[in-house]
A = this chain, B = another copy of it.
């Protein structure tokens, strides 16, 4: 068991000082060529690598990004992670992942666990419970400690930080317009309760598109699913709700759903009711995941470009971290609260598949 070798050990073996070893390894010309050669050879032989923790302590930065998301078994969130990881790695950062599991307290615990020196900054998406409670003190607290945050997807105006969001509103508009152009006359919306911001925006987009085309937004055509119940494990509930909805509104010939699951379930129910897709009823979902792609018929969706969101978020955070870095050398700035925060909006894309004409 060859434990990792340290500067001190190299120094002792070669009978020089630690400082000499450090300098030799970094190629400082303060050290003679002879000694440098000798030290570098020895270091290579023993596969010396500087201890990251020691470096972190010395430099007071960890080169690690903390990701805090509600859920990881979720296509969208995992694509975002992939994007973050890609950029982080490329720019020399590691990625540490915490899951809030949609819980307020776990979100706080996780933040505090990581905010004690383990990470340089956060990239996060707010948990449902936090959004419900509207309690954002922990975010502001960590920002005040000098730890920057970048929020993505589920963001909130109450916190002053960089943000990366998808254009939920226009994405919905696009989708619903598509249905209108495809000659749908009675377009239904299947959505969630309003407290998660993205749900609200998507609903507004739906209404906007209809109004632009002078179509009356009939509230009977809007189905709000209570997603506080665990839909994933009680599919029947969802199916029954949708079935009842379809039966009481049997003129529906177009459906826009705010997520994949609602959309494919709608297709399933429609088929069960003897409707064929897209002939009798056309369906579009939000969030382009594996379900949309592999459903039969495959589902037309509004793609959120999760990976791109992750990449942008990572770049934003790292840019800011490195800006702070160089700032600390300078004169004022430190107490300037007027860093202007950036909000990046990712354009959605309508991916047309078999569920629309």
Contact = CB atoms under 8 A, between A and B. Distances in A.
A326 interface: no
Contacts of A219: none
Interface in A103-136: 110, 112-118
Copy tally for this chain in the complex stands at: 2
A121 to B, nearest CB: 14
Contact of A296 (B112, B116, B118, B296): B296
B99 A97 contact: no
Interface string A77-104: 0110110010001000011111100000
Contact of A53 (B1, B57, B82, B97): B57
A294 B261 contact: yes
A267 B57 CA distance: 56
A301 to B, nearest CB: 14
Interface string A262-288: 001101100100000000000000000
A287 to B, nearest CB: 12
A9 to B, nearest CB: 14
A345 interface: no
Given A64-B96, A96-B94, A116 B49 contact: yes
A75 B295 CA distance: 16
Contacts of A75: 73, 290
A2 B145 contact: yes
Interface in A1-19: 1-4
A113 B91 CA distance: 13
Interface string A9-42: 0000000000000000000000000000000000
A225 to B, nearest CB: 15
